[in-house]
Chain A
Amino acid sequence: QKEVEQDPGPLSVPEGAIVSLNCTYSNSAFQYFMWYRQYSRKGPELLMYTYSSGNKEDGRFTAQVDKSSKYISLFIRDSQPSDSATYLCAMSGTGNQFYFGTGTSLTVIP
């Protein structure tokens, strides 16, 4: 079983829609959870991070962590064509290694 599972999509939504991206994980020691956005042929850029359970909001983006279910989500409100990218979840525990999902490809159609 992989440490982190992420639905690869692709996901296609109309402009203005609410997007939900999700990851599940198996290691209960994970405490730090991140979302990266990666445009085609570019390096990933850090979008959101959260510690332990709970929600964090930043503009149109909300990151949610449910440690009891080992499930994290990223919500994008009022999605824009510029949000079209691959979204990677990542997580780590007390060690120095990060574990990444395979990424979900999102296209927002004008």
Chain B
Amino acid sequence: DGGITQSPKYLFRKEGQNVTLSCEQNLNHDAMYWYRQDPGQGLRLIYYSQIVNDFQKGDIAEGYSVSREKKESFPLTVTSAQKNPTAFYLCASSLTGTSGDFTDTQYFGPGTRLTVL
């Protein structure tokens, strides 16, 4: 089955800790995205990557970091600098990420719910 997987499903973080959220896709998509979803605020873009070894900041990148060493993997690290990290984190991918063509429609993973203790 082709798709996007995220792990873990639930994650708890203590104050001052860095945590890493996993995102893997086997759709052979070039582009991958990380969003944060908070109640009443919709999806906000954290980082995106159109190609291996390259990524760009989204609207709310502060306190987060990413890497794209492999086409199928795009892990997100929530650092201690992120002051309000409790949220639902969604990873998505699209075929190329370089145009608005419908082949670039985004497909989402099941999400990771992060809670700060």
Mark each residue of chain A from 74 to 110: 1 if its CB lies under 8 Å from any CB of chain B, else 0.
0000000000000010101111111011110000000
Instruction: Point out the residues of chain B lying under 8 angstroms from A98, CB to CB.
Output: 45, 106
CB-nearest residue of chain A relative to B6? Answer: A43
A-side interface residues, number (CB < 8 Å): 28
State which of A4, A45, A95 has its C-beta within 8 Å of the C-beta of B100: A95
Interface residues of A in 2-16 (CB under 8 A from B): 4, 6, 8
Instruction: Point out the residues of chain A lying under 8 angstroms from B101, CB to CB.
Output: 32
Instruction: Give the docked Cα–Cα distance between A97 and B45 (Å).
Output: 9
Residue B63 lies at the interface, judged by CB distance under 8 Å to chain A: no
Instruction: Point out the residues of chain B lying under 8 angstroms from A97, CB to CB.
Output: 45, 48, 58
Residue A18 lies at the interface, judged by CB distance under 8 Å to chain B: no
**What is the interface residue range for chain B against chain A?**
20 to 34
Shortest Cβ gap from B63 to chain A (Å): 20
CB-nearest residue of chain B relative to A6? Answer: B42
Instruction: Point out the residues of chain B lying under 8 angstroms from A31, CB to CB.
Output: 100
Mark each residue of chain B from 74 to 107: 1 if its CB lies under 8 Å from any CB of chain A, else 0.
0000000000000010100000011111101111
State which of B42, B50, B102, B111 has its C-beta within 8 Å of the C-beta of A43: B111
Q: Which residues of A approach B to under 8 Å, CB–CB?
A: 4, 6, 8, 31-32, 34, 36, 41-46, 49, 51, 88, 90, 92-98, 100-103
Shortest Cβ gap from B97 to chain A (Å): 5
Instruction: Give the docked Cα–Cα distance between A102 and B37 (Å).
Output: 9
Instruction: Give the docked Cα–Cα distance between A49 and B104 (Å).
Output: 11
| Given A34-B105, A45-B108, A46-B107, CB of A94 within 8 Å of CB of B99 | yes
State which of A43, A49, A94, A96 has its C-beta within 8 Å of the C-beta of B108: A43
Contact A43 B109 (CB under 8 A): yes
